[in-house]
């Protein structure tokens, strides 16, 4: 993963893991009100100079299935988990995704595996968001249940973390 991409991933985590609790309740929902597409995250137009000496997050495990960012293809994830690949935008703003979710008391979340124009057919990133127990899921999203409802990251990051804890976890990774 390039240094610029690493900085983008780190910036994304700080922005998204801490901001979702403050976001509007209709984020990521389709016109019928069901959760479907990932929320649009606005990154800074000018990225800071890279200062991280190593890759922070090169992949994740979903239901014990390893996903290597910039190597695992989105279509392979769809074949493994099921669901429908969604898309929006064009050219440099093109984004394709696979929506996976877990609905359990006290641990409901949605995960979007994403592939942007720069990623080609591979998964280049993801968004992970906590759900409330009343969230309605679009039928194109694939539910994960039982032992299949796990997600693990190589860093000690989890949903609902305070910004200071996210920054501390990222700093401990370098």
Low-confidence ranges of the chain (pLDDT < 70): 1-32, 43, 52, 147-148
The answer to whether 139 and 32 are in contact (CB under 8 A) is no
Place of tokens 């997600």: 151
Tell me the C-alpha distance between 50 and 34, whole Å.
38
Q: How far lies 124's CA from each of 68, 70, 113, 167, in Å?
A: 9, 5, 8, 22
Whose tokens are 């006290």? That residue is: 106
Report the alpha-carbon distance of residue 163 to residue 148 in Å, rounded.
29
Residues 6+ apart with CB under 8 A from 6: 50, 52, 54, 55, 56
Residues 50, 105 contacting (CB under 8 angstroms): no
51-90: pLDDT as tens digits: 767 777 899 999 999 999 999 999 999 999 999 999 999 9
**Could you tell me the residue range of the domain that residue 9 belongs to?**
3-173
| Model pLDDT, residue 7 | 44
∠ CA 146-152-23, nearest 5°, is 95
Residue with tokens 């996903």: 67
Looking at residue 26, its pLDDT comes to 43
- Domain count for the chain, please give it: 1
**pLDDT, position 107:** 80
Assigned token pair, 107: 């641990």
């Amino acid at each position: 993963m390039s240094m610029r991409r690493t900085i983008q991933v780190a910036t994304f985590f700080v922005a998204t893991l801490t901001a979702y609790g403050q976001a509007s309740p209709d984020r990521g929902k389709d016109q019928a009100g069901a959760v479907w597409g990932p929320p649009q995250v606005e990154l800074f137009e000018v990225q800071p100079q890279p200062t991280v000496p190593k890759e922070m997050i090169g992949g994740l495990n979903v239901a014990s299935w390893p996903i290597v960012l910039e190597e695992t293809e989105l279509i392979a994830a769809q074949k493994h988990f099921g669901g429908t690949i969604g898309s929006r935008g064009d050219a440099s703003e093109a984004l394709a995704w696979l929506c996976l979710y877990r609905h359990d008391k006290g641990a409901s979340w949605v995960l979007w595996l994403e592939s942007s124009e720069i990623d080609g057919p591979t998964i280049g990133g993801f968004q992970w968001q906590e759900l409330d127990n009343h969230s309605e899921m679009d039928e194109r999203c694939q539910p994960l249940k039982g032992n299949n409802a796990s997600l693990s990251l190589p860093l000690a990051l989890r949903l609902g973390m305070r910004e200071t804890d996210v920054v501390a976890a990222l700093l401990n990774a370098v």
